[in-house]
Structure 1
Amino acid sequence: MSLNVESQHREEEAGKSGFGARYALMLIVLLWASQLTGLVGLISGNAQSAIAIHFQTTKIAWFSQIGLLGGVFATPFVVKAAAMYGKKRVMVAITVLGLVGDLIAALATNYETLLVGRGIAGFYSASVPLVYALTRDVFPRRLVGPASGFLGGGVGLVALGGPFLSGWLLDDHGFRAALWFLVAGTGLALVLLLAFVPESPVREERTRMDWAGGVLLGGGLTVIVYGIGEASGWGWTSGRTLGCTAGGIVAVLAFLWVESRVAHPMFPISLLGRRRVWTTFLATGLVLGAVYGGGVVTNLLTLMPNIPGVSGGLGWTATKAAWVAAPGSILIIGAAVATGTLARRVDSRLLLGTGGALVALGFALTSQFHHTVGQFIAIGVFSAVGMGMVVSMIPVMIIESVEPEEQALANGAQGMAQGVVQGLLMQVAFVILARDGTVLKGTEFYGDDGYTNGFLLSAGVVTVAALLVLLIPKGKRLDEVEAGQAA
């Protein structure tokens, strides 16, 4: 009883004084850990043009895609291990693995070795679901919503500072400097996690790892994404493309069969079968997958050279692109923090749907108006506000949908859904771009019509996601869920 009283007192004091120094420091550390994957994606996206030209490859899509595949495959095992052995402990382990992969990539002398390093480093992306689960466990109840919103809005901080960092690295020092920064960033995350983040006390019973279920789920989804990724080269109706897709689907169906029969499943069917859960996964996975897919198109458009009749890129430097994106990045941060606070009083479904509608509008307008700085800044208002609302609501909606002991598994499942959608849409976007593309000296360049159609693809998928929010049933409000067990 005394411990409960003390916990409540500490929670009340935290609410009166804001986050306080201790929680503020923890939030900053978790922010770095959660947004490092986004920063890696941003720097990698900006570097892919230089890397494609340096290694003279038409397979540059795999520079971003290979890490995504690693993360999708690893996620089932990571979140299950975290639930049993501790979220911080598992985060430290995969951060070390990510550091090894970053080192391999930075030292690579050929494109194949570079991809191996990025694939291993991609395992680190499975740590993102654990960050949000830790937040629910170690922050006081009244700070869980604002903290989750701030962490989600961290994408705005990445979007604000990341392009300037990327521009400095790439414009002044080349893509090798960017790869070495990834090594330093992952190393910093490891040190901060060890020094300042407490372990979560929330645990599942330790049981045997469901290796069969994990391999079927992670492997099946990975094979599907891989098959779609190679479809432009193999042909969409080729035996290899259809074989990979069909094999992956069969593996996922087999996963559902196995999970219904094993004593300790990787992902309980009861969790995945709840309407509030699966509809949340579907809507959020589609919207964020489309957002990041559209981001790849934006990076290529702004940084690829402008070559009449060959390339419809704008030919900006990374630094110029950073300055153009800066106002929108600030709006993302502000919208995310405000939306995270509103979630305590306003239905999170309404906030997510509104954010998705604004993002879809932004992509649709960008498809037609993407040639000048003024157009990017003006249209970016819609996209940025919507993006801030979306990224802050996704962790909140999952918190509202599951129990504390299910949090890591639920975040992992949502992350996998998002990863698969992102991987598929990225590949479809590259196929659309390539229809209006030209290969010159081993490098593929894209025309303006390809960029237009790429943005329209993202606009359409986000619109569908916003409409799917209507299928999500009402759940617990943020102030009603269990949170702050470690506080």
Structure 2
Amino acid sequence: MSDAKIAPATREEGPSGFTGRYVLILISLLLSVQLLPIMGLLSGNAQSEIAIHFGTTRIAWFTLITALVGTFVLPFAAKAAGLYGKKRVMVIATALGLVGDVIAAMSTSYGMLLLGRGIAGLYTVAMPLAYAMARDVFPRRLVGPASGVLGGGVGLVALVGPFLSGYLLDHHGFRGSLWFMAVATAVNLLLLLVFVPESPVREDGGRMDWLGGLLLGGGLTSIVYAIGEGSHWGWTSGKLCAFVGLGLVALIAFFLVQRRVASPLLPLSLLTQRKVWTVFLATSVAAGAIYSVGVVMQLLALMPQIPGLSDGLGWSATKNAQVTAPMSIIILVMAVVTGTLARRIDTRLLLGIGGAFTAVGYGLGSQIHHSVSDIVTFGLVAGVGMGIIVSIIPIMVIGAVGPKDQAVANGAQNLLQSVAQVIVTQIAFVIMSQNGKVMKGTQFYVDSGFTNAFWLISAVGAVGALLVLLIPKVKKLDEAEVGQAAL
């Protein structure tokens, strides 16, 4: 890969704080980062109503198809961002996603709904590119806090989202949720067009590696699809083994192809650097823990309490939102604090602390999860770890790679993170289903299932913390080359 054309690192840093212009840029990028979690929350809560309306038993595809499309197109988007500009790719992906949202909202059949959600999956690429943009468009002193806000926005989504979802479903049905997705995407597109400057960081003289993209995106999509269907097919079924095997063959072919092309999709020289692959590994495992725990928490809170059949807490979505609000607030606060601390404190230490708090918090949750006070108590501990992790991941990628590799690196980390999330989530479902019962087509869960699922999340968080020991010293934000865009 040729050197990118970038401004000198000694360039004037600009304003000392978040001026009005920087605030508008941050809000625009924040919506790009959090658009997917918002859609995931609204989609998850609307699933049961959609399944009943369209009379389908394959409702899992409603959310799975978005993840599959995002996994497939992300390698192409990350490469295109380096060739043609991050903002340009984000705008195109968001515009196409808006088309998908409108198709889904107007759908008259389940097939049409899936088509719309599949097209909407194209805007999943905006999240890693927004993190990469933060490096380019903010001055050095603001990159850490800005990255913290972008990551910590998940706490804001977790705080406000359940109330919003409950209102939309109660007053406007699932159509209200689908149309809200379209409006949110349209607002995001407008903000990107008006307020976000284009990054000047480019890959000089490269071209799109179509074969590499097909092999990488197709291979990962095949594996993610198989894992997502594992519970339905059976974990030892020939169909699952075939899809996983096909995906692995495609990934092996991808690495062979990358050695021979002049402009590789993902330079192998980047992945073989210890400071890069160790950061990818540790952050992906830690993220796999915190992003997969949502299904456990939601099923615990919202499933009914039926003696001998179901040990859920039987709360409404509104009550669950109220109980988890303290946890959401601490996630947001810790994310912002972490973004500031990362300017001077070793990011490896921060990730290790985040993983440790996550492990302790959900380990505690495995023992106490039967009342409001229980959820609040372990949620505050786990929330500290989650806030640190969501904030530190993009910051560690900044420290591990140079500006010209930022988009590719964020895309690669996001792919690995998504695979880790799917794997941990599916294992959690299998664990919770043990000793559970199926009644009239509905899976119910008992207390031991929730206990063991929390232990799983705790263990994965602990592994993420321990993997920090593999990471060599990387640059702090104050040492990294950032703030390249001419604002």
Q: Shared fold (TM-score greater than 0.5)?
A: yes
The answer on whether the counterparts of 1:77 and 1:214 sit within 8 Å (CA) in structure 2 is yes
Aligned to 1:83: 82
The answer on whether the counterparts of 1:58 and 1:444 sit within 8 Å (CA) in structure 2 is no
Q: Which moved more, 1:114-123 or 1:20-29?
A: 114-123
Structure-2 separation of matches of 1:358 and 1:298: 17
Alpha carbons of structure 1 residues 341 and 280: separation in structure 2 relative to 1, 3 Å: same
C-alpha deviation, 1:4, in angstroms: 7.3
**Percentage identity across aligned positions?**
61
C-alpha deviation, 1:54, in angstroms: 4.6
Q: Which moved more, 1:200-209 or 1:460-469?
A: 200-209
Cα-to-partner distance string for 1:160-182 (whole Å, 9 max, x where unaligned): 21122122222333332222211
Aligned to 2:276: 277
C-alpha deviation, 1:344, in angstroms: 1.4
C-alpha deviation, 1:113, in angstroms: 3.5
The answer on whether the counterparts of 1:287 and 1:462 sit within 8 Å (CA) in structure 2 is yes
Aligned to 1:161: 160
Aligned to 1:130: 129
C-alpha deviation, 1:283, in angstroms: 1.0
- Residue 445 (structure 1) aligned with residue 444 (structure 2): yes
Alpha carbons of structure 1 residues 400 and 310: separation in structure 2 relative to 1, 3 Å: same
The answer on whether the counterparts of 1:45 and 1:299 sit within 8 Å (CA) in structure 2 is no
Aligned to 1:226: 225
Aligned to 1:288: 287
Aligned to 2:263: 264
The answer on whether the counterparts of 2:132 and 2:410 sit within 8 Å (CA) in structure 1 is yes
Which amino acid is 1:162 matched to?
Answer: G
Which amino acid is 1:230 matched to?
Answer: E
Q: Equivalent residue of 1:439, what SS?
A: strand
Q: Equivalent residue of 1:344, what SS?
A: coil
Which amino acid is 1:483 matched to?
Answer: V
The answer on whether the counterparts of 2:9 and 2:481 sit within 8 Å (CA) in structure 1 is no
Aligned to 2:397: 398
Cα-to-partner distance string for 1:32-62 (whole Å, 9 max, x where unaligned): 1111111112222333344445555554443
C-alpha deviation, 1:77, in angstroms: 0.3
Structure-2 separation of matches of 1:358 and 1:7: 38
Alpha carbons of structure 1 residues 94 and 356: separation in structure 2 relative to 1, 3 Å: same
The correspondence of residues 458-477 of structure 1 with structure 2, limited to 5 A, is 458-477=457-476
Aligned to 2:432: 433
What are the ranges of 5 or more consecutive residues in structure 2 without an aligned counterpart? 1-6
Structure-1 separation of matches of 2:97 and 2:173: 22
Structure-2 separation of matches of 1:422 and 1:68: 11
Which amino acid is 1:278 matched to?
Answer: W
Alpha carbons of structure 1 residues 449 and 174: separation in structure 2 relative to 1, 3 Å: farther
The correspondence of residues 371-382 of structure 1 with structure 2, limited to 5 A, is 371-382=370-381
The correspondence of residues 400-419 of structure 1 with structure 2, limited to 5 A, is 400-419=399-418
Which amino acid is 2:194 matched to?
Answer: A
Alpha carbons of structure 1 residues 174 and 448: separation in structure 2 relative to 1, 3 Å: farther
Which amino acid is 1:164 matched to?
Answer: F
Aligned to 2:91: 92
Q: Equivalent residue of 2:437, what SS?
A: strand
Structure-2 separation of matches of 1:64 and 1:458: 22
Cα-to-partner distance string for 1:232-264 (whole Å, 9 max, x where unaligned): 222222211111111111111111110011111
Cα-to-partner distance string for 1:268-319 (whole Å, 9 max, x where unaligned): 0011111111111111111112211111121122222333333332222211
The answer on whether the counterparts of 1:167 and 1:317 sit within 8 Å (CA) in structure 2 is no
- Kindly indicate which of the two structures has a greater share of residues assigned to helix: 1
Q: Which moved more, 1:163-172 or 1:66-75?
A: 163-172
Cα-to-partner distance string for 1:160-214 (whole Å, 9 max, x where unaligned): 2112212222233333222221111111111111111111111112433111111
Aligned to 1:29: 28
Structure-2 separation of matches of 1:374 and 1:424: 30
The answer on whether the counterparts of 2:94 and 2:123 sit within 8 Å (CA) in structure 1 is yes
Which amino acid is 1:382 matched to?
Answer: V
Structure-1 separation of matches of 2:452 and 2:60: 18
Aligned to 1:319: 318
C-alpha deviation, 1:5, in angstroms: 12
C-alpha deviation, 1:94, in angstroms: 0.6
Aligned to 2:301: 302
Structure-1 separation of matches of 2:98 and 2:306: 38
Structure-2 separation of matches of 1:173 and 1:433: 32
Aligned to 1:42: 41
- Residue 253 (structure 1) aligned with residue 252 (structure 2): yes
Structure-1 separation of matches of 2:378 and 2:417: 25
The correspondence of residues 195-206 of structure 1 with structure 2, limited to 5 A, is 195-206=194-205
C-alpha deviation, 1:419, in angstroms: 0.8
Which amino acid is 1:431 matched to?
Answer: V
Q: Which moved more, 1:94-103 or 1:114-123?
A: 114-123
Structure-1 separation of matches of 2:9 and 2:479: 19
C-alpha deviation, 1:478, in angstroms: 1.2
C-alpha deviation, 1:110, in angstroms: 4.1
The answer on whether the counterparts of 1:283 and 1:465 sit within 8 Å (CA) in structure 2 is yes
Aligned to 2:69: 70
Q: Equivalent residue of 1:174, what SS?
A: helix
Structure-1 separation of matches of 2:88 and 2:330: 35
TM-score (norm 2): 0.94
Structure-2 separation of matches of 1:422 and 1:198: 32
Aligned to 1:482: 481
Structure-2 separation of matches of 1:303 and 1:111: 25
Cα-to-partner distance string for 1:389-411 (whole Å, 9 max, x where unaligned): 11111111000000001000000
Structure-2 separation of matches of 1:377 and 1:335: 16
TM-score (norm 1): 0.94
Structure-2 separation of matches of 1:455 and 1:111: 34
Q: Equivalent residue of 1:444, what SS?
A: strand
Aligned to 1:235: 234
Which amino acid is 1:172 matched to?
Answer: H
Q: Equivalent residue of 2:416, what SS?
A: helix
Structure-1 separation of matches of 2:116 and 2:450: 29
C-alpha deviation, 1:453, in angstroms: 2.3
Q: Equivalent residue of 1:480, what SS?
A: coil
Which amino acid is 2:151 matched to?
Answer: G
The correspondence of residues 48-63 of structure 1 with structure 2, limited to 5 A, is 48-55=47-54, 57-63=56-62
What are the ranges of 5 or more consecutive residues in structure 1 without an aligned counterpart? none
C-alpha deviation, 1:469, in angstroms: 0.8
Structure-2 separation of matches of 1:300 and 1:108: 28
Structure-2 separation of matches of 1:52 and 1:370: 29
Aligned to 2:3: none
C-alpha deviation, 1:7, in angstroms: 4.8
The answer on whether the counterparts of 1:49 and 1:303 sit within 8 Å (CA) in structure 2 is no
The correspondence of residues 139-150 of structure 1 with structure 2, limited to 5 A, is 139-150=138-149
Q: Which moved more, 1:363-372 or 1:429-438?
A: 429-438
